[in-house]
Copies of this chain bind each other. A is one copy, B any other.
Amino acid sequence: MTFQQAVEKLNTIEKTLYALGHAQSVLSTDGDTVAPKNSWKGRGMALACLGELTYRQLVNPGTGEVLETILQHRSEADEITFRRAEVLKESYDDLHVLPMDEYIAWRELTNEAGAVWRDAKEKSDWNMFAPYLERILANRRRYAALKSPDQPAYDVLMDNYEKGAAMEMLDPFFRTLRDELSPLIREVASREKPVPAFMRGPWPVDRQRLFSEKIMALEGINPMNCTLGETEHPFTSGDNKWDIRITTHYHEEDPFSSMFSVIHEGGHALYELDIRDDLQFTCLAGGASMGIHESQSRFYENIIARSRAFCTPLLKILKEVFPVQTGSLTEDELYSTINLSGPSLIRTTADELTYPLHVMIRYELEKAMVTGDLSVKDIPGEWNRLYKEVLGVDVPDDRRGALQDSHWSFGGIGYFPSYALGSACGVQMLRQMEKEVDVWGTVAAGDLSPVTAWLADRIHRYGRLKKPKELLAGAMGGPLDAGIYTEYLRNKYMQLYGI
């Protein structure tokens, strides 16, 4: 096969992979938003079949030869073509680890486990979910052993979400977070503030929908390319920059829960919306890693939208949409309210300060369950023990404990660290950005475009063209440093709580 022939075949392969991928992602998003509840059966069948077609399209000797041919002709290939082959080869190698029948069984298992988890969570019944997690862990151990027998299994799994993430680096990272943040969390908890009266609302969902539109506009999201749906557990999906979907969940009693979902998912969306046109419809049209993706979503959610400066434009919008409810609210009160902190049970609604310790607990549990040191039946007990030890809270049931997150059900073991890594990276990006952009001046003026332009220039536009390491080096101004992250949190919360 000549280099030219290989490039032509690569184009055809990627077109088909794009189509199959797009179909699967629209089916899933549709299923999580507007599809009838009973549609899961037909969707499951379709997704299984499309997954099999994807596997066949990617994992076969022909595709292998195409990729090898391009990788062997580095000097002839332009940057994009070479990188496409490189990234596709990673997917090829990853899928290739398991033979097709095992791969299909794995997809069926996680599909079923997702439904069982939902049910188990509702009933707060760990025993319902436990046999599925057993099988998921067994599969992940086997996968890790086949893929890289000389590495610790948990490192192999984390590598899927964050290239190069390893316990060697994450152990000291999380140790610093715990050591630095625990005393501060205790201090803040001792100065607990009451929930202010204006929060009583009411906050009708119809008005919250209008609020979401205005928040998306403030964040700079073009509705021609990105729409908002409603779902149980908010997420972002999309396969090209002209078709991104974010989702939220409205709570009648609190407008900020949905607002922060919109802004968080909006951060994921802005990443995808800014990827270069010439990478679209190839495997390079997507975020470079889950950690970098979370760095963007959490950057907008916390660093920007929970800042004092953001309260200026935010209060204006609140008064437009909820004039009665926020009649006498001030920017300072608003700032204090959206940063109320305290040890809690649920990761997704945790405040910025306690959040990383929720992640740390999951990291410790996952390490132990992957080696088998922690057996599945003992996970809830260990979960509850750690929540008491680290955050000082008593977990009343598994629904609000070990069953709260979906990640294990879809096989995403090794994903959680990305959240904390993303948060830490985001703060280091802020420090670099502040050298070049009047971040707080423009945010206070209600204009986020200079912030987004900076991130687009350093991160977004490259999609997967550059490797995560390269991207981070250009945006963070130095290696990962948990101290910069904890210093940011300390300054913010000491000021907020008058410590």
Contacts and interface: CB of A to CB of B under 8 A. Distances in A.
Interface of A: 15-16, 18-20, 22-24, 26-27, 29-30, 33-39, 41-43, 45-50, 53, 206, 223-227, 229, 239-240, 242-245, 280-281
29 contacts: A15-B45, A16-B53, A18-B46, A19-B47, A19-B53, A20-B50, A22-B27, A23-B23, A23-B26, A23-B27, A23-B46, A29-B30, A30-B30, A33-B34, A34-B227, A34-B229, A36-B225, A36-B226, A36-B243, A36-B244, A38-B225, A38-B242, A39-B225, A39-B242, A39-B243, A41-B240, A42-B240, A42-B281, A206-B206
Contact of A243 (B38, B50, B239): B38
Contact of A242 (B22, B42, B206): B42
A270 B35 CA distance: 17
A22 B44 CA distance: 11
Contact of A46 (B22, B38, B245): B22
Contacts of A43: 22, 243
Most buried by B among A19, A53, A223: A19
A104 to B, nearest CB: 12
B206 A36 contact: no
Contacts of A244: 36
A324 to B, nearest CB: 19
Contacts of A49: 15-16, 18-20
Contact of A26 (B19, B30, B224, B225): B30
Nearest to A206: B206
Nearest to A15: B49
A207 to B, nearest CB: 11
Most buried by B among A39, A53, A224: A39
A36 B226 CA distance: 5
Q: Number of copies of this chain in the oligomer?
A: 2
Q: Which 6 residue pairs of A and B lie closest in terms of their CB atoms, listed nearest first?
A: A19-B49, A39-B243, A23-B23, A38-B242, A19-B46, A42-B240
Contacts of A45: 15, 18-19, 281
B229 A36 contact: no
A29 B36 CA distance: 13
A439 to B, nearest CB: 29
A306 B258 CA distance: 42
Contacts of A281: 42, 45
A293 to B, nearest CB: 20
A227 B30 contact: no
A42 B243 contact: yes
Contacts of A15: 45, 49
Given A19-B46, A36-B224, A37-B223, 6 more contacts: A19-B47, A23-B26, A23-B27, A26-B30, A39-B243, A53-B53
B223 A42 contact: no
A314 B460 CA distance: 54
A225 B40 CA distance: 10
Contacts of A226: 36
Given A19-B46, A19-B50, A22-B42, A36 B227 contact: yes
Contacts of A16: 49, 53
Nearest to A47: B19
A36 B223 contact: yes
A34 B36 contact: no
Contacts of A46: 18-19, 22-23
A259 B49 CA distance: 38
Contact of A36 (B37, B41, B48, B242): B242
A272 to B, nearest CB: 12
A216 B239 CA distance: 34
A465 B314 CA distance: 59
A229 B34 CA distance: 8
A102 B30 CA distance: 32
Most buried by B among A45, A46, A224: A46
Contacts of A224: 36-38
Contacts of A223: 36-37
A290 to B, nearest CB: 22
A122 B206 CA distance: 31
Nearest to A242: B38
Nearest to A49: B19
B23 A50 contact: yes
A243 to B, nearest CB: 4
Contacts of A50: 19-20, 23
B206 A35 contact: no
